[in-house]
A and B are shown apart, each in its own frame.
Chain A
Amino acid sequence: MKFFGFVIVCLTGGLLLYGTMDLPDWGDPGSPASTHLSDYYIEHIVEETQVPNLVTAVLADYRGYDTMFETAVVFCAGLACFLLLRDFRPGKDRYFRHVPTGVMLHFKNPDTRLVAGNEFEHMDKEWVPSDMIIKTVCRILIPFIQIYALYVVAHGDFSPGGGFQGGVIFGSSLILMAISYNLKTLVKRVTEKFLSIFAAAGVLIYVGIGVAAMLMGGHFLDYGMLAPLLPSDPGHIRALGMLGVEIGVGIAVMAVMVIIYINIVSEGRHDEGL
C-alpha cells in the first residue's frame, strides 16, 4: 500500500512538473503578464480607483468576482466543520467544584443536574489551575490585537493587509482568549448564534454590494455605480466599495476561524477544550 502511495505521488508530481513546462519562464518578457497586463495595472489603477495598494485593487476590484467565491469557500469550510463535528448530546462525565471547600464532584449520569452558580463551578476534565501571568498578559494583549486587526482591515487600501488577514487576526485574538482562560469563557461571550450570523452576514455584505451595483444599473460588483448612494466624491467611490467588501470578508473569516477552532477542540460539544 505504501509502495502504491509512493507511485501515485511520483506520478502526480511528475504530471504537475510537466504541466509547468507550458507556463512562461520566470521573468519572460514575452509572457502576457509582462507585455500588457502588469503595465495596465501599474499605469491605470491609481487614476481609476484611487487605491495606492495595487494588490488590494486587483484582488477586490478587478478580480472581485474571484474574491467573492474565495469568501464563499471560507464560509463553506466553517459550515462543513459545523455539520461534521457538531454534537448536541450532553457530555456524559461532568465535573463540578464546590468553591468554598474546593471539593470536586464527578457526575457520571447525564440526567443528574447541578446548577453552576456561586456555590458550584463547572470544571473541565483536564483542569489545571490557570496561571495568573498568562491570564493577565492575555487580558491586556487581546484588545490591542483586536484594534490591530481592525486597522489591518481598514487600511487594506493603503498598506499590506485586508479582509482575510484582519479577519484571521481578529479570530485568533478570540482563540487566544479560549486558550488563556477556558473554552467556556469564549463560548459564553461569543455565542454560536452570533458566530453563525456573522459568518453568513459577511458573505451577504459582499454579495449585497455587488447586487446594489447591479440595481443601480451597472455590472455585478461595479463599485463606481454606487456613487449616488454614498456621500463621497465620485473619484473615491471605488475605494469605498472595496472597503465595504473587505469588511464583509473580515467578518466572515473571523467568525469561521472561531467556529472551526471551537468545533475541533471540543469535538463539537462546545463545553471543554484546550
Chain B
Amino acid sequence: MLWPIDLIVLTFVIFCAIAAITVRDLLGTAILFSAYSFLMCLLWAVMGAVDVAFTEASVGAGVSTVFFVAAVFRTSRRTKD
C-alpha cells in the first residue's frame, strides 16, 4: 500500500532495536525503546490495526518508558556488560 513509508519506518525500527542493545547508557536505552514502540505504533496504524496502534502508543511508548526511567533512577545508569 504505502510501501515507501513502510520501508522507511521499518529501517528505523531495526536501527532502534540494534541501538537499544548496543548503547551502554541505560537511560538512552529507555528512550530508544520508546522510539521503537512509537515506530511500531506507526506501522500498526499503516496496516490498519488502529486498536493495536493505540495500545502500543499508550503502553509501549508511554507508561513503560516511565517505568524504565524510574527503574534507572533507582538503580545505576551504566550497564556492566
Nearest chain A CB to B41 CB, angstrom units:
12
Nearest chain A CB to B77 CB, angstrom units:
14
Instruction: Give the bracket for the number of chain B residues in contact with chain A.
Output: 10 to 19
- Contacts of A109-155 to chain B: CB distance below 8 A: 152
Interface of A is mostly: helix
Most chain A CB inside 10 Å of its own CB: which residue of B58, B59, B74, B81: B58
A264 contacts B58, C-beta separation under 8 Å: no
- Contacts of B7-50 to chain A: CB distance below 8 A: 50
User: How far apart are the CA atoms of A246 and B81 in the complex, in Å?
Assistant: 43
Residues of B within 8 A of A172 (CB): 58, 62-63, 66
User: How far apart are the CA atoms of A213 and B37 in the complex, in Å?
Assistant: 38
B70 contacts A274, C-beta separation under 8 Å: yes
Closest A residue to B68 by beta carbon equals A264
Contact of A162 (CB < 8 Å), options: B51, B59, B66, B74: B51
Nearest chain B CB to A89 CB, angstrom units:
16
Contact of B51 (CB < 8 Å), options: A161, A175, A265, A273: A161
User: How far apart are the CA atoms of A53 and B49 in the complex, in Å?
Assistant: 12
User: How far apart are the CA atoms of A53 and B54 in the complex, in Å?
Assistant: 14
- A165 contacts chain B at the CB level, 8 A cutoff: yes
- A160 contacts chain B at the CB level, 8 A cutoff: yes
- A168 contacts chain B at the CB level, 8 A cutoff: yes
- B5 contacts chain A at the CB level, 8 A cutoff: no
Nearest chain A CB to B79 CB, angstrom units:
13
Closest B residue to A156 by beta carbon equals B51
Residues of A within 8 A of B73 (CB): 265, 273-274
User: How far apart are the CA atoms of A267 and B51 in the complex, in Å?
Assistant: 34
A165 contacts B55, C-beta separation under 8 Å: yes
A261 contacts B59, C-beta separation under 8 Å: no
- A2 contacts chain B at the CB level, 8 A cutoff: yes
Residues of A within 8 A of B71 (CB): 264
- Contacts of A160-202 to chain B: CB distance below 8 A: 160-162, 164-165, 168-169, 171-172, 175, 179
User: How far apart are the CA atoms of A257 and B69 in the complex, in Å?
Assistant: 14
User: How far apart are the CA atoms of A161 and B59 in the complex, in Å?
Assistant: 12
Q: A165-B58, A168-B59 are in contact. Are A264 and B51 (CB under 8 A)?
A: no
Contact of B69 (CB < 8 Å), options: A2, A56, A164, A274: A274
B67 contacts A171, C-beta separation under 8 Å: no
Contact of A261 (CB < 8 Å), options: B50, B58, B67, B81: B67
Nearest chain B CB to A200 CB, angstrom units:
20
User: How far apart are the CA atoms of A220 and B66 in the complex, in Å?
Assistant: 37
Residues of B within 8 A of A152 (CB): 54
Q: A168-B62, A172-B62 are in contact. Are A264 and B55 (CB under 8 A)?
A: no
3 nearest interchain CB pairs? A265-B70, A160-B50, A55-B51
Taking beta carbons and an 8 Å cutoff, which residues of B are in contact with A? 50-51, 53-55, 58-59, 62-63, 66-67, 69-71, 73-74, 81
- Provide a sorted-by-A list of 18 A–B residue pairs whose CB atoms are within 8 angstroms: A56-B51, A161-B51, A161-B54, A162-B51, A164-B55, A164-B59, A168-B58, A168-B59, A168-B63, A172-B58, A175-B66, A261-B67, A264-B70, A264-B74, A265-B73, A265-B74, A274-B69, A274-B70
